[in-house]
Amino acid sequence: MSSHGTSRRTALLQTLELEDRLTPTQAAFDPEHVLVSFAEVVPEAWRTASLAGSAGVQGFEALGLGLYRVAVSPGVDRDVAERELRGLSGTTSVGPDYIIRTQTVPNDPVWNANRSAGNSIGLPAAWSTTTGTGQTIVAVIDTGIDVTHPDLAPNLWRNPGEIAGNNRDDDGNGFIDDLHGVDFTTNSNNLTDSVQHGTHVAGIIGAVGNNGQGVAGVNWRTRIMPLKFIGANGGLTSDAVRALDYALRNGAKIINASWGGSPYDTAFAAALSRARSAGAIVVASAGNYATDTDRSPFYPAAYTTQFNNVLGVAATDDAGNLASWSNFGATSVTVAAPGVNITSTLNNGRYGALGGTSMAAPFVSGALALLWDQNPTWTYSQILDKLKTSVDRLPGLSGKVATGGRLNVAELVNAGPVNPPALPVAPPPPTADRTGPRVVAAQFSGAKAGQFDRVRLTFSEAVNAATLTNANVAVAGPTSTLSISSVIPTAGTNGTQFTLLFSRVQSTTGSYTMRVHSGVRDISGNPLDQNGNGITGEAGDFFQITSHLAGTASPPPPTVPVAPPPVSPPSGSRVNYTPGLLPRIVLPRRTTRFEIVVNETFAVEDLTVTLNLVHPRPGDLSLRLSAPDGRRATLVNRIGFAATTTFADRNGTKPLQPLSTFQGAPARGTWVLELFDLGDGGAGSLNTISLGFARTSIAAQSLWPAGAPHSLNAEDLDSSSDERNRAILGGRSDAIAKVR
């Protein structure tokens, strides 16, 4: 098709069928990069230090909100690099950066097919009520837009923080002159649509109406925010995530995603969760493979089963039948809309007809923008409830889409909000693995005594971390419901163990109850089968645990322990004890406390302390060990030590104070290792701790001598440090990490 020297009428007769097709059985990905997500609570310094120190990493780029695009070193296998990165503390996901493409397939010439399509969904009647107000921003995350097109230019979103043409990043968001949007493939403001896909989609949503030329969008006055992440060679999931976050930061209420085909992606799922929290709706095309996506999910449309702010849209023909090539799904596709021979805007001021679910989705986006313009105070849930109750229920769509119907814009804008209908709930898609997961262990804990700030869950098999949401894991305290802020997989457990961090530290005494509902699913999509009867997702398939948080009253002074009865372990055997909830982040100028419980009775002999600690400046650290009977010994004080160190009086690194301090003491009870980070050198991670004992078969034989010194006090520590250290340890400037 020539772009120059062609009459307007000739351009209007040019047609294409554009289908957002990816090879559905094998997803392409960038072989030179890996996407890594860190939990929000992990400090930036720790993230960058971890990535920089990982084998096989050539470099990395921060994409925001804990997501990094990591370059794999030449000659290193990407799978090997992924395994290395999964072992880093605090990561929530590690995986490929999938490539997303569109393909163009020629079709017979068609002109003005929208008249039939528009009538079928009640557009003329809807326009008699409203044509839009321009209050709702619709982000078109796609291949770009022809920003000079006369039917689109007046309705483009305008960034209020940018001054046009001054070659500056006026709003400080990292992009120069992003007046209307961003090209994330080049990190520039060049929104040129080399594929024509985004331009066509934008015209369906919001081409200017009643201007005497071209076509009219569903919403004549909406504000279109073009965000480009797909170029001539496809686009990356990481750029789609960046585009979605940009849209949310700049006020978009509706995001149109007329593309898909990559597998489930944790980073993109996290972005959809942020969209839900922001009250935004994501409208996605269902795909063009005549496939049941309940059985073979097509993302991002299939995220509708996980996020109630995501819609999957199938395509219908003029007769209201499901298009022969349209995907469908009784639970994974929400609604249908016209998608055959749809005329809209093309590059260089032209028009033409294209087809696909890519064309159906923007009909829904434009309609929702009309409704939100009409009801600007409604929530996203009210908007979607109204959509689902206003469809035309058609026999050909029954069992094919969740609502059983096609978009009806006239009904959508002509009544108030209503409760959503009871939609059919289909069973989960059959999978090779039909066994549901079970919770096998759970434990509340906190960074300090007298606090709860997390719960650790262990499952019988690998679990989809994206299903560990506040809806599926409900936690209630003595006075209020608790919110989960981060989900951190435990390294080396292959997705079977997770630490769920609360948004706030809890110190109110009383009972705390957690219930894990059947919405938690394994990686094959099977719901919880807690009762183990082989039937997943039943009402009784839940796990519940209650823990009591006691107060933090000061412990009584040490008393002479009563000698316990003899025990049976053979004389001379050794035993090791480790704490739970490792690895743990070590923050600068903070005290981190680790509790190790010894549940057997024996006398301490030949104690050793082994730990693995990754830290940018180990010379900032002090370590102190306390026994259950109150004895203490400082192991090291700001002189540094190796990443893996065994402190021992013999055959190891000698501690600052001898571990023979604990010789003969009763081992049973809670030991405490305190780690004081006294500098500003950045965060680290304590990955393992082990207390090793040589046990004897007799009860404790000696007691801690009255009045014997058992730990360095503040003055002792001061004498080994500079003035700044004295200020910290003496508490005269910052007592956060004060040794006491």
CATH superfamily of 111-413: Peptidase S8/S53 domain (3.40.50.200)
**Confidence at residue 659, expressed as pLDDT on a 0 to 100 scale:** 92
Annotation: CATH topology of 574-730: Jelly Rolls (2.60.120)
Enter the DSSP assignment of 660: G
Q: How many C-beta neighbours within 10 Å does residue 470 have?
A: 14
Catalytic pick among 20, 30, 97, 142: 142
What the block records as the tokens of 484 is 């989960």
Q: Tell me the residue length of the chain.
A: 740
pLDDT of residue 303: 93
Contact 633, 595 (CB under 8 A): no
Closest CA to 668 of 611, 615, 599, 734: 599
Q: Which of 285, 358, 518, 711 is catalytic?
A: 358
What 3-state class would DSSP assign to 387?
helix
Unique residue bearing structure tokens 């992606």: 265
pLDDT score for 112: 45
Q: Which of 149, 180, 197, 615 is catalytic?
A: 197
Domain map (residue ranges) of the chain: 29-100, 111-413, 439-549, 574-730
Q: Count CB-CB contacts under 10 A for residue 478.
A: 13
**Residue pair 486/92 in contact by the 8 Å Cβ criterion:** yes
The whole-number pLDDT of residue 262 equals 66
> What is 439-549's CATH topology?
Immunoglobulin-like (2.60.40)
* C-beta neighbour count of 522 within 10 angstroms: 25
Q: Residues 193, 350: contact at Cβ < 8 Å?
A: no
The residue type at 395: P
Note if 358 is an active site residue.
Answer: yes
Q: Tell me whether residue 392 is one of the annotated catalytic residues.
A: no
Active-site residue flag, 197: yes
Q: What pLDDT shows up at residue 567?
A: 39
Query: Strand (E) positions, 591-732?
Result: 591-598, 608-614, 621-626, 632-637, 644-647, 669-677, 684-694
The residue written with tokens 């316990």 in the block is 564
The per-residue pLDDT for 400 is: 96
- Let me know: does 58 contact 197? Beta carbons within 8 Å: no
pLDDT attached to residue 548: 87
Q: What is the CB neighbour count within 10 angstroms for residue 355? A: 27
Q: Token digits for 535?
A: 């039937």
Q: Quote the CA–CA distance of 674 and 737 in Å, as a whole number.
A: 10
What span, in angstroms and rounded, lies between the C-alpha atoms of 197 and 194?
8
DSSP symbols for 676-713: EE-S-S--EEEEEEEEEEE--SS-----PPTT---S--
User: What pLDDT, on the 0 to 100 scale, is given for residue 687?
Assistant: 77
pLDDT along the chain (740 residues), means of 10: 27 27 46 83 79 84 84 85 81 77 34 63 87 95 95 95 91 92 94 91 92 88 95 85 95 95 81 93 93 89 92 92 93 94 90 90 96 94 94 94 94 60 41 76 84 89 84 88 79 79 85 90 85 82 86 44 39 71 71 84 89 80 90 86 84 88 89 83 76 60 31 31 32 29
Matching residue, tokens 């889409």? 401
> Does domain 29-100 correspond to CATH entry 3.30.70.1510?
yes
Predicted TM-score of the model (pTM): 0.53
